[in-house]
Amino acid sequence: MMHEQLLQPTQAPTAVKIIEAALPLFMKRGYTAVSITDVIKAAEITKPTLYYYFSDKEELFVQVGLHLMLMMGSQLQEAAQGDSTAERLTSLARVLLAERNADMRLMRHEMFEHVGPANRDLLVRAFYAHLFGPIEAVMAEGLAQGVLARYPAGILTAMFLGMSDSFHEFGQQARLAQWSIATVGHFANPMLGAETMVDLFLHGVRGG
């Protein structure tokens, strides 16, 4: 079993500086479009310095992923401290729907497209430890209290994450700029927020 310490990103100050410079590049352009030279310029370092901390671009990308997941995981852990299941889910949804955290959707896609099996396994383990785990714990408690029912906590967590992906897709007008203005207007509705997402998750759309 992989040691949990491997699921934590490096904390060396210079390495963190490089990771923080690389993160917006990878998230904006994708893995293949970002070069080591791009990262060096953004971080304002030399090539030997980068290769001192990271053996290649893949290792850097993995560290960016771990850094992003640890950051989001900390936010999710804090959000999971509410009084009721509905309050906790709403706080979790706010974290997932935060504009910066939309990066995780691209990260999940890129890690399956461009990362080798060993590093992909590391990122998947980190995803379940830092992101999936805090949400699943709230679902498990909701099931124990009778607030949630019918499906196991893992299935409910996957559904919740899927809903957050959909709300990101249709809740941001800028992401749909290529659509007609009339169509965009519906999907840019401010109701597509955390409260609506949790209401749909808990109660669905069926009338009384």
C-alpha 185/C-alpha 193 separation (Å) is 15
Please give the structure tokens belonging to residue 181: 């203005």
C-alpha 132/C-alpha 138 separation (Å) is 10
Q: How many helices (H) and strands (E) does the chain have?
A: 11, 0
The per-residue pLDDT for 7 is 67
Judged by DSSP in three states, 62 sits in helix
Residue position matching structure tokens 């671009």: 57
Phi/psi at 32 (nearest 5 deg)?
-70, -30
The per-residue pLDDT for 100 is 65
Count of positions (residues) in the chain: 208
The per-residue pLDDT for 188 is 52
Better-scored residue on pLDDT, 193 or 103: 193
Model confidence at 110: pLDDT above 70:
yes
Quote the mean pLDDT of the chain: 84
**From 56-70, 78-92, 127-141, 159-173, the region with the lowest mean pLDDT:** 159-173
Residue 171's pLDDT band (boundaries 50, 70, 90)? low
Report pLDDT digits (tens) over 11-69: 899 999 999 999 989 988 889 999 999 999 999 999 999 999 999 999 999 999 999 88
In contact, 111 and 123? CB cutoff 8 Å: yes
The per-residue pLDDT for 2 is 40
Domains of the chain (ranges, CATH numbers):
4-203 (1.10.357.10)
Residue 178's pLDDT band (boundaries 50, 70, 90)? very low
